[in-house]
Structure 1
Amino acid sequence: MPRVREVDVFRLVLPYGRRPESILVKLTDHGGMAGWGEVVHPDPKVWGTLEETLAQILIGVDWETPHDLPELGTAADMACWDLATRMTGVPLAHALGGTRTSLMATVRLPAVRSLQSAVDGVNRFVGAGYAHVTVEIHPGWDVEPLRAIRAAYPALAITVDARRAYTEIGQLESLAGYDLSGIERPCDDLDLSAELQSRLSIPVVVEARSLAELDEAVAARAGRALMLRPSLFGSLAAVKTAHDRARRAGWDITCADGRGTGLARAATVAVAALPGCTLPSDVTEPPRNAQIVEPPVGASGGVVAIPLTQPGLGHTVDEERVRRMARDSFALR
């Protein structure tokens, strides 16, 4: 039975891209075992909320599973799951109900400056072993890059991510002629998304940011697949519920989430082991200079192995590196 003795929280600014922020939570029980969690791009209020609430909720409190605890937020909830499954010797993927030993990864190609840059980017991904690429599009950058990529790679599996940028579906409908595997996040309007799905044989992939949004999307027939981002649901129990509801509706599922330090990605990999997650998932590794876990989270030949030989998240955290990278921290005893 976990009984938390100490809570450590770290704020990191990550050394890539626009230098995103990540918050890590470490929970240590009375026997010295630790569980870790992460939230990437946290709401500004998260830091203060954790400082004000975690001690009262967790320290010295007996609990069997994270289901016994009130809402903690993404990072602390993940840390509870990691701690509980490490104590019972069970991989997190199995504790959630996962059945896979590996999964196919997709890799994202952001909008770039030229068609040649797009083709070159895909060439790098294919050379690294990826069999599936997700191409980010927007009005004015859709038909031409797809035509160039498809001409260079006739057999490559391609999904497009419209990032809710479209208000008309005619252009998106025409993209299906490029032998796509799916269209992700076409628009914000569920009725428009449903109309697009009714015209296509490939799945429209809807990103739901809550269980209520998922129920609305299923009722509207806004798609045939769910983009499941664990960080949006606040707890892994809610993520599992979203998976189960989408699966009962007959929807396929792809998993994705912020890259962070590797911890958030590790949790996403565990979720992607669930039986309904049949589509390639965006679990490519964060940059090596940001990772604080061993072994690093990432794909080999476009395939991600589910860490089933170790309990919990299946990765060891380099705490010395965490403390060197931390811009701020606090401890609760």
Structure 2
Amino acid sequence: MITIQSVELYRISMELKAPFVTANGAYVDRETILIEITDSEGNSGWGECVAFATPWYTEETVQGAWHILQSFLIPTLLGVSLQHPKEIPAIFSNVKRNQMAKAGLEMAIWDLYGQIAGQPLHQLIGGVREELKVGVAIGLQSTLDDYYRLIDQYTADGYERMKIKIKPGHDITLIEDLRSRYPKLPLMVDANSAYGLNDITHLQQLDDYNLMMIEQPLAADDIIDHAKLQANMKTPICLDESIITYDDARKAIELGSCQVINVKLGRVGGMTEAIRIHDLCKEHDIAIWCGGMLESGIGRAHNMALASLSHFTIPGDISASARYWHKDVILPEVKIEQGGVLLPFGAGIGFEVNREYIEQLTLERLKFNHSR
């Protein structure tokens, strides 16, 4: 039994080693919310609310999530006794959506559960791997030479799949050049909803370049138009922002809206829902992979556990800590070793949290205690 005694929130800011540019803008630092939950016995676990500072990816933001956490979710959680983290979605069912805020708390409880059980999180959820093959996302660059430099560097580092951000005016010619230089490179593109259904003819040109997939080409809340687009393209469509819940995934599969689904723990509300979506994709032979949200090492550690499940066969966005950060908030940092990432075997997420460094990064901090 886990009885929730306290919840502590840390709003931190981490400087990126280089700007990360998408169709929606450039990011030079990353605000995020780290969450520590402590039980009545003094055990603690960590999670991360991965909302961004602005609502470009989903409607959630850091400030909005901070409000939802302290005003609604945490008061519901304090003093609650749980047998298992899978009980959390039902406890939060009175709060609509706000998946990233919910996920941050649920992650922390999964870590806490692992700490108490003395087992790695990836084993607790039924993971089958000890090593993960990894991919990397490359934001929009100024020149082709910048792309070549990064791809050569990441290939040498052991990354097995490259995701290239695209947008109108920065797409077909770019991919043609990259495919000409790297004819056998596992390559995919991510549009972050930058196109419309009237772009079908334009997007069909991507079929010539043997891409693994095109991720979220159309609106973030759409599955119907994506079905029309997929029916007219050979390249597999991957849905990302469109999949918020298990039911979204079920409907997209039934409609033929995609051949691939990208699961992000924050976007779908946490580990419990992510596992359900994984099992659904496995049942219907829909490819699935684990995406990234420029997380700190805490969120990345949870992603690693998720990606250990059997049907995650595509290298995920589980980059080394040094890919994005001068210094990470976990010890040891995530590293690429022999072309992959080794899963930790410590209890819970398997990493030590660097409290001293978190204190240096903290912009705002709140603690909530259960009154006995």
Residues 1:231 and 2:260 are matched in the alignment: no
Moved more, 165-174 or 154-163: 165-174
Q: Give the drift of 1:293.
A: 0.6
User: Which residue is 2:354 aligned to?
Assistant: 318
User: Which residue is 1:204 aligned to?
Assistant: 237
Q: Give the drift of 1:134.
A: 0.9
Q: Give the drift of 1:260.
A: 2.5
Residues 1:106 and 2:141 are matched in the alignment: no
User: Which residue is 2:203 aligned to?
Assistant: 172
User: Which residue is 1:46 aligned to?
Assistant: 65
Residues 1:276 and 2:311 are matched in the alignment: yes
User: Which residue is 2:186 aligned to?
Assistant: 157
User: Which residue is 1:37 aligned to?
Assistant: 47
Aligned with 2:238: secondary structure?
A: strand
* Contact preservation (8 Å) 1:129, 1:301: yes
User: Identical aligned pairs, as a percentage?
Assistant: 26
Read off the aligned partner of 1:61 and give its amino acid letter.
V
User: Which residue is 1:62 aligned to?
Assistant: 81
274, 281, 286: which one aligns with 1:251:
286
Q: Give the drift of 1:292.
A: 0.6
Q: Give the drift of 1:200.
A: 4.3
Residues 1:186 and 2:223 are matched in the alignment: no
* Contact preservation (8 Å) 2:35, 2:48: yes
**Hey, what's the Cα distance between the residues in 1 that align with 2:50 and 2:327?**
12
Unaligned runs of 5+ in 1: none
Read off the aligned partner of 2:362 and give its amino acid letter.
A
Question: 1:254-304, CA deviations, whole angstroms, 9 ceiling, x for partnerless residues?
Answer: 111212321111111111111121111111134333511112124335412
Aligned with 1:37: secondary structure?
A: strand
**Hey, what's the Cα distance between the residues in 2 that align with 1:151 and 1:224?**
26
* Contact preservation (8 Å) 1:260, 1:290: no
Read off the aligned partner of 1:133 and give its amino acid letter.
M
Residues 1:267 and 2:302 are matched in the alignment: yes
Query: What is the TM-score normalised by the length of structure 1?
Result: 0.92
Q: Number of residue pairs matched? A: 332
**Hey, what's the Cα distance between the residues in 2 that align with 1:227 and 1:28?**
31
Q: Give the drift of 1:105.
A: 1.1
Query: What is the TM-score normalised by the length of structure 2?
Result: 0.83
Moved more, 27-36 or 231-240: 27-36
Q: Give the drift of 1:6.
A: 2.8
**Hey, what's the Cα distance between the residues in 2 that align with 1:56 and 1:107?**
38
**Hey, what's the Cα distance between the residues in 1 that align with 2:161 and 2:65?**
35
User: Which residue is 1:25 aligned to?
Assistant: 35
Aligned with 1:274: secondary structure?
A: coil
**Hey, what's the Cα distance between the residues in 2 that align with 1:40 and 1:181?**
26
CA distance 1:60–1:222, shift in 2 (3 Å): closer
* Contact preservation (8 Å) 1:5, 1:59: yes
* Contact preservation (8 Å) 1:122, 1:149: no
User: Which residue is 1:86 aligned to?
Assistant: 115
**Hey, what's the Cα distance between the residues in 1 that align with 2:218 and 2:287?**
19
User: Which residue is 1:300 aligned to?
Assistant: 337
Moved more, 40-49 or 149-158: 40-49
Q: Give the drift of 1:202.
A: 4.2
Q: Give the drift of 1:45.
A: 2.6
Q: Give the drift of 1:156.
A: 1.1
Read off the aligned partner of 1:156 and give its amino acid letter.
L
Aligned with 1:19: secondary structure?
A: strand
Q: Give the drift of 1:56.
A: 4.0
Moved more, 223-232 or 11-20: 11-20
**Hey, what's the Cα distance between the residues in 1 that align with 2:255 and 2:72?**
38
Read off the aligned partner of 1:196 and give its amino acid letter.
L
**Hey, what's the Cα distance between the residues in 1 that align with 2:283 and 2:112?**
30
Q: Give the drift of 1:37.
A: 0.6
* Contact preservation (8 Å) 1:14, 1:260: no
Read off the aligned partner of 2:274 and give its amino acid letter.
V
**Hey, what's the Cα distance between the residues in 1 that align with 2:83 and 2:288?**
30
* Contact preservation (8 Å) 1:204, 1:222: yes
CA distance 1:290–1:52, shift in 2 (3 Å): farther
Question: 1:109-135, CA deviations, whole angstroms, 9 ceiling, x for partnerless residues?
Answer: 212122222222212212222221111
**Hey, what's the Cα distance between the residues in 1 that align with 2:319 and 2:107?**
20
**Hey, what's the Cα distance between the residues in 2 that align with 1:46 and 1:311?**
28
Moved more, 47-56 or 313-322: 47-56
Unaligned runs of 5+ in 2: 17-26, 53-60, 93-100
**Hey, what's the Cα distance between the residues in 2 that align with 1:110 and 1:238?**
28
* Contact preservation (8 Å) 1:262, 1:285: no
* Contact preservation (8 Å) 1:247, 1:276: yes
**Hey, what's the Cα distance between the residues in 2 that align with 1:74 and 1:192?**
28
